[in-house]
Structure formats: C-alpha cells, structure tokens
Amino acid sequence: MNRLQKANDYIQNNKAKTTNRPYFHFSPGIGWMNDPNGFSFYKGKYHLFYQYYPYDIVWNDMHWGHAVTEDFVTWEYLPVALANDKAYDANGCFSGSAIEKDGNLYLMYTGHIDPNLGFDRDEREVAERQCIAFSEDGVTFKKYEQNPVIGEKQLPEGYLICDFRDPKVLEVDGVYYCVLAVRNAERRGEIIMFQSTNLLDWTFHSSIYEAKFEDNLLLECPDLIRIDDKDVLLFSEMPCDPEYQEVVQNTTAYVIGEMDFKKGIFTPEKKGLLDYGQTFYAPQSTEGKDHERLLIGWMHRWHQTTPPKEYGFNGMMSLPRKLTIQNGKLMQQAAINHEFYFKQTVSLENKVLQNAAFDIEGEGTGYLKLNFSPSRGKNFTIELHKSAESSTRIHVDAENNRIFYESDYGNQGIITINDCFRDDENTLEFYVDLHSVELFINGGEKVATFTAYDQGKGKTVSISAEDKIELTHIYFEEFCL
C-alpha cells in the first residue's frame, strides 16, 4: 500500500481514540503536528496544511496534514496531502507554502533527506531541496515530475544544503518570489530569495537578511508580507548549533522594513518579537478573504510537558491573528468570530476589589477582557484554570510596567513581560482554552501564548487584588459549541 493511503487508512481507523481535544483551537485528528504549512484562502475556504506524523505523538517522518475552515472554530479534515514517498523527500516533506495559479493550488515544500533519520545527524549526509506539488481541486495533490526545483544547482556556493528549507512563495507584479531559510558558511541563519515566472523554474535572486554572528541563530520558516505601505519579514529563530541550546531560546520575530524586489534588497527598520510566551513557533501568514493579513502559529515548545499518551494527539495551532501596522507598530488581533460560539456571562463596570476576589464560575474556557487605568490601582492578579489547589496566574504590576506569568501547570517557570502599559486606559484580552492561554495586551501591541497539557485543571476564572483597585470593565464570554 502506498504511504499516503496507509496514513489516511490509519487515521480513519484510529481517530476515534483521541481525547481531550481543545475546544476552539485546531489540533490534528490523531498523532503529532508541528508547523502550519500552505496556509491559504482557496476556492472560498481557508486551507491549512501542517507538518504531520499520524502514527504517534512524537515527531517523525513528516507528511502534510490538511484541513479547511470558514470560521477558524469548526474544521473539516481532508485526506493527508503529501507523504514522504519519493527519493527526494524520503525522510520528510518539510515545511512550505501554497499559492494559487490559474485556478490550481501549488504547494512548495522542502524535500528532506537524512539517512540517519535525524537521530545521529551527520551534516554531510543531510540534504534539503525544494519541491512542487499541485492540485486542481485543493484535495488531491500530484508531485511535479521534475522535482526538486531548487537544489545544489541553484543554491550559490557558500550556503549549506543541509539546512535549506521552508519556502514561502509570493507574487509581486507578475513575478513569483520565494524566501527560504539557509545556513551560511559561518554556520548562521540567513534568508535568501529566488525568483520564477512559472513556479517551476527558479533562479537565485539575492540574500535579504542575515542573523548577527554573535546571536548564534539559525533561522526557519521565513515569510515576507506587505502591510499597508510597509514590508514585514517574519521568521523563527533557534540555536545554530547544539552548544548554544542552553543559551539561545526558540522564538519568533518580525522585522518591519522596505523591500526592493527588483534589486532584491530588504532594508530593515525595526525588529520585534511576535510573541512573549514560549509556545508560539513557525508562524505562517496568508491574505484573508477580505485582503487582510492573517497569521497562524504552532503552539508548542520543545521539551515542554507532552500530553498524556491517552490524549492520542500532540500539537495545537494558535488562533489566527490579524496583522496591521499602527503608528509604526506591528499589531496582532485575534481573528475569530465571537458571534456563534461565545456567550457573554459577565459584563461589569467600575468593579472595586480590595483584599478580595471576583470569581467567574462555569467551564472556564472562553474570552476574558479587562480594562483598567493605573490611576485607579496598579496591581492585581488574574487566575485561570483555577481549582482549590492549582491555577495559572497572571500578575499585573503596573507600578513597574510589567506582567508576570506563572502556572502550576506545564513547566514554563516565571515569564516576565516588560513595557506593557500606558498611563491611561489599558486592555488585556485572554483566550482561554483547555490547554492554552493567549494574551493580547492593548489591542495586540504585545501578545503572549502559554500552553500546558495537564489533565484536571480547574474551571474558575478569578480576578483578585490586595490593594484597592477599580477595574473599568470586566467582561467574560464562555465558549459554547
């Protein structure tokens, strides 16, 4: 039986065994999932592909899983789109993107070859080359017969083919470009660009971004987008070599700048973090149905507590985030429809707390919005997933302009987010699901994602303060499908 058929049969026969799925975040029907791939709006639906290994809850031979949605809450799983069934992708169909051309959906992905299966990496034997697959219906994909389309022949000397991956395709004025992450001769990460007129024949265009040598970073999953009159380069950062594992943390970054496509030059202006938690990685964007820019990321951190085996799945996607630039700042707002699945249970204005807690009982999953002004009290605590013994605590310390996160669930330690607040009105928005909390500060100036798969979390949402505080607004909507 071929590998695609085998994967799809396995999923059909075993998916009923998964438990504890999140309520309103995408997760795989069964098995392991990492990066979002091929995120696109095609023939009236959002398509999301993802790095996928259906047979276990750990990373292994990468397939491309596939699902579609119209509202980002309810999803339809489609058959696995790609399996690693060719000599050029024998050890995995790694991350990539999708683009529509002449009514067909094209996928561009990395064919990964590693005879040691990633366990005992010998760089000289690893190769990553770029491949194409296409589909007329957005369901069944055929790999291009002349794959790979970018390999040693097109990659200029000095770059290492062992870390050359994650093509993101875009079209500008009738020309196709793709940005790719690569390891350079100094063993650091760089983002390079290729160009094509037909998506099949590619030539090297230029290098557009280089990680600083002293930052010891390898880059992954680049994305280049236009928002209003700015260009924004997104990428994920990881330690460039094992000896930096303890000092360099995986994270996701954006750089606002100007891209001159003709010359192939990106002029960076301002760099920032896409997420201040530690569980948001490998995000990818697409143009939405109203031409807005939507970003979705993998909610994960390597070495975090994995789900209990009986869940049968591992991996969740963030909510999609709408990206805009306001006053030179990149803003991210959750792009999820509240109309059908969230029911308001609390809306209280000018609530005073002093040595007291305000508790919201129910299922404890949904949307919480708080407004406060530091002139009416500076310190308070939000507890989520609270039971008699345990909770996740977000301490607002407006006195020192920061937030602390700590939790009895997961193993993330204390996370501090600095420079959070304004002197006047501030907004904190939380999306709380079974295994995740996403926090949007002041309309998405800063965002932080936290995940923990522990079983038996509490269901109370509690807001408390020791010193007197008056919250301008407490608003809660419970999730109900």
Binding of residue 437 to ligand FRU (CB under 6 A):
no
Tell me, by CB under 6 A, how many residues bind ligand FRU.
13
Binding of residue 51 to ligand FRU (CB under 6 A):
yes
Binding of residue 237 to ligand FRU (CB under 6 A):
no
Out of 133, 221, 384, 396, name the contact with ligand FRU by CB under 6 A: 221
Preceding omega of 148 cis (within 30 degrees of 0): yes
Helix, strand, coil percentages, rounded to 5, for the chain:
5, 55, 40
Out of 35, 190, 223, 231, name the contact with ligand FRU by CB under 6 A: 35
Nearer to ligand FRU, 81 or 420 (CB): 81
CB of 182 to ligand FRU, least distance (A): 11
Beta bridge partners of 204: 194
Binding of residue 429 to ligand FRU (CB under 6 A):
no
Please report where in the chains the tokens 């509690």 appear, as a residue: 462
Nearer to ligand FRU, 134 or 281 (CB): 281
Beta bridge partners of 451: 436
Binding of residue 252 to ligand FRU (CB under 6 A):
no
Question: What's the gap between Cα 429 and its chain centre?
Answer: 19
Phi, psi of 65 (to 5 degrees): -75, 170
Our answer to whether residue 467 is catalytic in this structure is: no
Distance (Å, rounded) from C-alpha 355 to C-alpha 382? 14
Q: Would you state the torsion angle of the CA atoms of residues 151, 153, 158, 161, taken in this order, to the nearest 10 degrees?
A: 20
Q: Footprint of ligand FRU on residues 80-99 (CB under 6 A)?
A: 94-95
CB of 401 to ligand FRU, least distance (A): 33
Binding of residue 282 to ligand FRU (CB under 6 A):
yes
CB of 93 to ligand FRU, least distance (A): 9
Out of 97, 110, 285, 449, name the contact with ligand FRU by CB under 6 A: 110
The CA-atom distances, in angstroms, between 425 and each of 312, 367, 371 are 44, 19, 7
Out of 114, 166, 190, 237, name the contact with ligand FRU by CB under 6 A: 166
453: closest CA among 106, 126, 21?
21
Nearer to ligand FRU, 24 or 280 (CB): 280
Nearer to ligand FRU, 166 or 383 (CB): 166
**Which residue in the list 9, 35, 71, 419 is annotated as catalytic?**
35
Distance (Å, rounded) from C-alpha 25 to C-alpha 10? 23
Nearer to ligand FRU, 166 or 433 (CB): 166
Distance (Å, rounded) from C-alpha 211 to C-alpha 220? 11
Dig out the tokens for 346 from the structure. 């609390």
Q: Would you state the torsion angle of the CA atoms of residues 412, 20, 95, 415, taken in this order, to the nearest 10 degrees?
A: -10
Binding of residue 330 to ligand FRU (CB under 6 A):
no
Distance (Å, rounded) from C-alpha 133 to C-alpha 342? 38
Residues that bind ligand FRU (CB under 6 A): 34-35, 51, 62, 94-95, 110, 165-166, 220-221, 281-282
Active site residues: 35
